[in-house]
Amino acid sequence: MCGIWALFGSDECLSVQCLSAMKIAHRGPDAFRFENVNGFTNCCFGFHRLAVVDQLYGMQPIRVKKFPYLWLCYNGEIYNFKQVRKSLGVCSRSQVFCGLFESHLSLLGIIQAATLFSSQSFWMSLMDVMLMLNTVRDLIFFPSLQVSGCLKGLINLKHSTSLCSKVEPFLPGHYEVLDLKPSGKVASVELVKFHSCKDEPLHVACDTVEALPSGFDLEIVKSNIRILFENAVRKRLMAHRRIGCLLSGGLDSSLVAAVLLKLMKEVNINYPLQTFAIGMENSPDLLAARKVAAHIGSEHHEVILNTEEGIQAIEEVIFSLETYDITTIRASIGMYLVSKYIRKKTDSVVIFSGEGSDELTQGYIYFHKAPSPEEAAEESERLLKELYLFDVLRADRTTAAHGLELRVPFLDHRFTSYYLSLPAELRIPKNGIEKYLLRLSFEDSNLLPKEILWRPKEAFSDGIASVKKSWFSILQDYIDQQVDDLLLEKAAEKYPFNPPKTKESYYYRQIFEKHYPGRSSWLPHYWMPRWVKATDPSARTLKHYKSAAQE
């Protein structure tokens, strides 16, 4: 998403407050606009644009003469905008919203109509009523309201009250109606959950894929998975900037890259697909990604990671992520550096990735220890609900830090809801292999070499290093010299919320508190595997991984 920032009802100097909007300039490097809201005291919008689609009409906020009281600020690619646009009889994608406002003149009508959008992430603000829809993450503050696509756009704002401002994530799948007074002060009218990952989206009616065969016969299920996944990739081809793809050589990114290149050829996109891998010399990910790239015929780029470069990036990564979660930081270092390479060395801007598959298709190794299929299904849904705290946070922040737009087909609403509708027994690991159903669905497609299609799960933060010494071990060896034993002993006194239990955790927390002091509650808990006695989130510490590696 682009960089969206808004301020309503501030009692401080507005021109000084608006400097905070520049903290999120990285999210929209192509254009920038500030606009005061006439008729309201100390209210303004800030917008940093990453121009990917609709370059003529896409600048924000949108104003139209027909509705002089309407201010529209939104973001998120609307993949079915052509179908919606045709039904409304408007010319541009951006005019779709104004058409919806004209044809659904009630607030409830606008909300209902907006659910027709096929969009991975969506943020929308309408005035003189205020409406926010969100499937990723935004931040709000009361009694004055401040909104930013990243936390760093809010932390330096001044307030007339001496009390610490409350800054919290706006929950995915919700909208909030706020009453905005002429003074700029706001009051919440209602907060409503309008979507969950299990719900079939209403925009199925505007989809290009017709009704699928019903039933749970294995061949029907496999066919539906292939059709919906291919559709999820196809709709995301919509772009006026060059498309690329992250490629770790694991199942998820490899499937995305293979289907993406196949569809790019079908629609006659006249440039080669650039794929990007990062890792240390001869790391498992580099070797596997090289094999996939050769099989599908992509223009492959390798970024060689060295220990010093990775360690030096830790503070930048934590500042970009806005979290102190251990496994998120480990995995983000490689993704941050490969994104930096893409921005500096290539012209790819729209980047596909395999995020979301592990949560949806039960790809984490600890799913082998699930007590029952039903508990595994519940865990899968929990992980999906918390994506904005962990893997999607990582993927979004590390790519947006370098002005890239990420697209994640595995989290397509229709694909996700279908996969979660399948019987729990079908979705669990089988024969010692996680994501068994997904692999089986593409077994006869010839999209990937067999050894890649059935390659065991390798965490991104582990696969970029050697099998002999994991990335987390390299980090821990360095950090062990940076944190004194006495500091760790007193960690619970200094950091009573989510107290660090290891030197690595303490080191990350120190950096986080340096940039975001007193904001530890943004992370409700650390990411850790379930059903196993794990003291570290790395899959390489689990018995199942060690057995597979030995084989």
For 483, other C-beta atoms within 10 Å of its C-beta total 18
245 included as an active-site residue: no
Phi, then psi, of 352 in degrees rounded to 5: -85, 150
Q: Is 250 annotated as a binding residue?
A: no
The residues facing 73 across adjacent strands are: 125
Distance of CA 313 to the CA centre of its chain: 21
Distance of CA 373 to the CA centre of its chain: 27
CB neighbour list of residue 181: distance below 8 Å, 6 or more residues apart: 9, 187
- Interatomic CA distance for residues 326 and 502, integer angstroms: 10
Q: For residue 162, how many C-alpha atoms fall within 13 Å in the half-sphere facing its CB? A: 0
- From 2, 43, 150, 197, active-site residue: 2
What kind and span of H or E run contains 46? Answer: strand 43-49
Q: Is 354 annotated as a binding residue?
A: yes
- Interatomic CA distance for residues 284 and 289, integer angstroms: 9
What kind and span of H or E run contains 75? Answer: strand 67-75
Contact 381, 421 (CB under 8 A): no
Packing angle between helix 373-385 and helix 413-421, nearest 10 degrees?
160
Q: Is 333 annotated as a binding residue?
A: no
Q: Is 297 annotated as a binding residue?
A: no
Q: Where are the alpha helices (DSSP H) in 38-194?
A: 81-88, 95-103, 107-114
- Interatomic CA distance for residues 380 and 183, integer angstroms: 45
- Interatomic CA distance for residues 329 and 467, integer angstroms: 20
Task: Give the residue numbers annotated as catalytic, written as ranges.
Answer: 2
User: Which residue positions form the known binding site for ATP?
Assistant: 246, 278, 353-354
User: Which residue positions form the known binding site?
Assistant: 246, 278, 353-354
